[in-house]
Amino acid sequence: MQLAHWRAARLVATRDLTHDIRLFEIAPAGDEAGAATSGFVAPSPGSHILIEVLIGDRVETRSYSTVGPCGDGLYRIAVKRLKASRGGSAYMWRLSPGARLKIAAPRNQFDLAWHKPGYLLLAGGIGITPIYSMALALAAANAPVRLLYAVRSKADLAFGDELGAVLGDRLALFVDADGNRLDLEPEISALAPGGEFYVCGPLGLMEMARQAWAGSGRPATLMRFETFGNGGRLATVPFHVAIPRLGLDFDVGADETLLDALEKAGVAMISDCRKGECGLCTLPVLAADGPLDHRDVFFSGEEKAKNSKLCTCVSRLGGGILTLDTCDRKA
């Protein structure tokens, strides 16, 4: 995993885009030692910055995709205030202009590949943030792009006017509350051969997109996606873990991930993305006396249905006891 180079920064301004999505404009203020240079690194479409957030008295890190080209030396991010939250988004929403921040320069794990014969972009809810930057960049380059943007209700639409102005009829909106149904098959069929598909949104949308793309027979390598690593089908509740092989028994709190709890218990885990994409932290499930909530995009639907393995960084049990094996891992 890439090490973060932390810099001081200042919140310049905020603006509400919807009732629960707020835009933040952030100016870097040199490196931690107070270097005179601003330290601004222009983000490429799909990039995100890291921000230190304070949760209680704990310093934690949250990632936020940069929105738009940020050509004026300010990082722009849009943060959704989450109800079921450990506190990162709530912390961001408590900030006022002038607040001092610590950020790490943009990194990109959701790169836009240029010069493709076509681009189909799909965003759900707050997943619009990286997709918005991609849509603007592609439209500016006159690339053949179509954006499908799904939201629960019109009130949840962020960047709708900006996108409409730039994309015109290349933007298709799907508003759940109005009964608009997203049908991916014809959209994928209309994409030029060799075209790429970029997706960011909630787990359900992501799974639907993966299934439709696989069904189209197009190469998996031409579909790229990013997850924000949160949310599942079930509420986030505490549960108990038993690992007979290591003689371990411990609780996983509602405010920690299974991976965090395994590491705290001394299990030698391997992990990388920590958002259910890479599959490095998966462990075999021996038994579960509660419902498993697979929150990853690493396993296929069939693999998840077997419930024989889970991604410990995001997936969890909806209460009860989860018995795991650790095979080659040691306490």
Residues that bind ligand FAD (CB under 6 A): 48, 62-65, 77-80, 82, 84-90, 126, 129, 226, 228-231, 236, 255-257, 275, 314, 316
CA neighbor of 228 nearest in space, from 127, 313, 84: 127
Are 107 and 48 in contact by the 8 Å Cβ rule? The answer is yes
Q: Which is nearer to ligand FAD, 79 or 246 (CB)?
A: 79
Shortest Cβ distance from residue 86 to ligand FAD (Å)? 3
Shortest Cβ distance from residue 168 to ligand FAD (Å)? 25
Tokens of 187: 């959209």
Q: Which is nearer to ligand FAD, 234 or 245 (CB)?
A: 234
Tokens of 279: 């599959």
Shortest Cβ distance from residue 65 to ligand FAD (Å)? 4
Q: Which is nearer to ligand FAD, 88 or 195 (CB)?
A: 88
Shortest Cβ distance from residue 48 to ligand FAD (Å)? 4
Q: Which is nearer to ligand FAD, 129 or 271 (CB)?
A: 129
Q: Which is nearer to ligand FAD, 204 or 219 (CB)?
A: 204
Closest residue to ligand FAD, judged by C-beta, is: 88
Shortest Cβ distance from residue 137 to ligand FAD (Å)? 16
Contacts for 273-279 with beta carbons within 8 Å, 24 or more apart?
A: 273/109, 273/229, 273/313, 274/229, 274/313, 274/314, 275/227, 275/228, 275/229, 275/313, 275/314, 276/227, 276/229, 276/311, 276/313, 276/314, 276/315, 277/226, 277/227, 279/311
**How far from 199 is each of 81, 111, 196, 254, 293, CA to CA, in Å?**
21, 12, 10, 28, 22
